[in-house]
Structure 1
């Protein structure tokens, strides 16, 4: 594992062996109904069991590495500007402001500035992706029904 760190960012390159190890860990854990616990040992009698949230993050990371994915980890602020929210949604700021005016996405004012909670922006994005996926599946079903081929 090679790490390049610069300007508060780090890039970690994993080897094929580490990818295989991640696959083995994931296969060992399987699909559990109860979450696995991760315990880290720092010496004799110095064990720490990670909190469930951090365990879930680590296991998701292991899963993605095992799939050979490129993973970016970062924190999202609790509250974002309209410019950042528009970028998160892949749309223009005026389009976002229209959604805000139509109350399709929750917002609030900080002084004279409109702000959105990240959780609301991400929930809107998930719902938007679900609507798109559903529309795509309906289109595919129509194509099959009508016998339309590529």
Structure 2
């Protein structure tokens, strides 16, 4: 029987957060070796980067949620994840802002495409906020 990965929220102790911060700052510190596989082979850089991101979050005291995500989302699930209404999502799909495909008569969105849209929206918001701050500074409103 194949094992399935269940979603699990991990909380950490202060000692674990300190250890994570130490590893992030210097992976070779305190006798620790860089991430590697059990057979002594170096870990592929993509996996090493993923573990580093997890350690950075742990060091910052964040709660980590580990679990599989679906490859495809219904329009209702995608809209909820993006924090928009389903009709708004359908407009974005019709305008080809978010790629989608049909499964029978149902529209589906790849998780990667929904996450890319969310990332792009956050970047656009950060840029707009930086522009607003620059205008405030220019006008002496700060």
Normalising TM by the smaller chain, what interval?
A: 0.7 to 0.9
Q: How does 1:1-150 map to 2 (within 5 A)?
A: 8-29=6-27, 36-40=34-38, 47=40, 50-149=43-142
If the length of structure 1 is used for normalisation, what is the TM-score?
0.77
The separation in 1 between residues aligned to 2:132 and 2:20, in whole angstroms, is 37
Could you tell me how far 1:53 is from its partner in structure 2? 3.6
Is the Cα–Cα contact under 8 Å of residues 37 and 52 in structure 1 kept in the other structure?
no
Cα-Cα RMSD: 2.1
Pairwise CA distance, 1:73: 2.1
Matched residue count = 132
Using the size of structure 2 for normalisation, the TM-score is: 0.81
- Unpaired runs of 5+ residues, structure 1, are 1-7, 31-35, 41-45
Asked if the contact 2:24/2:56 (under 8 Å) is kept, the reply is: yes
Which is richer in strand? 1
Unmatched runs of 5 consecutive residues or more in structure 2: 1-5, 29-33
